[in-house]
């Protein structure tokens, strides 16, 4: 077993837990569609979370060429899915609370967006320092800073704009 195969196993488990939570949330949305208050902003972030989980998992293939993994590289790689999972857990409510999506989002907007933005900021930057490849780090940092902008402003129009732009970038 290569070092990549060994480390990707734990990272894949964390990513799979986040994806399972998101897919369960989609099932809850379908199941409770009549009683659920649909928030477009919630749905944008919800879908962006799923794409980010899948995108991050695919991006790990670039690390498959590394023959040696040290603890710091592993922590850099693991912190992204961990913060993605935390953001997913904050955004997606338990089954009994699903009818209060808009209320929940307003209450947990700042912690959710902070956790989500942290997934895009330190890990990719540290990976840029380690590999010398800054193209991905600059791209992901831009997305992280956009998400952070949504955290700082209670303005709903700005939040819609940030969510839409971050999802498109």
The radius of gyration of the chain from alpha carbons, rounded to an integer in Å, stands at 17
- Residue 36 tokens, joined: 């659920």
What pLDDT digit, counting tens, does each position of 142-165 carry? 777 777 777 777 777 777 777 777
- Residue 2 tokens, joined: 């290569």
Q: Which domain holds residue 10?
A: 3-168
Say if residue 17's pLDDT is above 90: yes
Give the chain's mean pLDDT.
77
Say if residue 47's pLDDT is above 80: yes
Cα three-residue angle 1-83-3, rounded to 5 degrees = 10
What was the pLDDT predicted at 132? 62
The rounded percent of the chain whose pLDDT value lies above 90 is: 7
What is the total count of domains within the chain?
1
Across the range 119-132, mean pLDDT stands at: 67
Look at 98 and 31; give whichever has higher pLDDT. Answer: 31
Residue 20 pLDDT class (50, 70, 90 cuts): very high
Say if residue 114's pLDDT is above 90: no
The reported pTM is 0.78
Across the range 103-124, mean pLDDT stands at: 79
Q: Is 147 exposed, middle or buried (0-12, 13-18, 19+ CB in 10 A)?
A: buried
What was the pLDDT predicted at 134? 63
The SS3 call for residue 35 is coil
Q: From CA 92, how far away is CA 116, in angstroms rounded?
A: 13
């Amino acid at each position: 077993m290569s070092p990549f195969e060994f480390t990707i196993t734990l990272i894949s488990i964390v990513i799979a837990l986040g994806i399972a939570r998101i897919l369960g949330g989609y099932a809850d949305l379908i199941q409770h569609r009549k009683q659920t208050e649909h928030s477009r902003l919630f749905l944008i972030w919800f879908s962006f979370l799923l794409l980010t989980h899948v995108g991050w998992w695919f991006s790990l293939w670039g690390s498959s060429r590394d023959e040696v993994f040290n603890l710091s590289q592993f922590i850099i790689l693991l912190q992204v899915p961990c913060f993605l999972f935390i953001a997913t857990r904050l955004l997606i409510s338990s089954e009994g609370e699903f009818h209060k999506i808009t209320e929940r989002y307003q209450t947990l907007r700042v912690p959710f967006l902070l956790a989500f933005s942290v997934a895009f900021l330190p890990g990719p930057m540290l990976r840029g320092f380690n590999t010398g490849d800054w193209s991905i780090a600059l791209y992901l940092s831009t997305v992280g800073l956009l998400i952070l902008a949504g955290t700082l402003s209670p303005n709903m129009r700005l939040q819609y704009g940030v969510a839409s732009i971050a999802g498109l970038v």
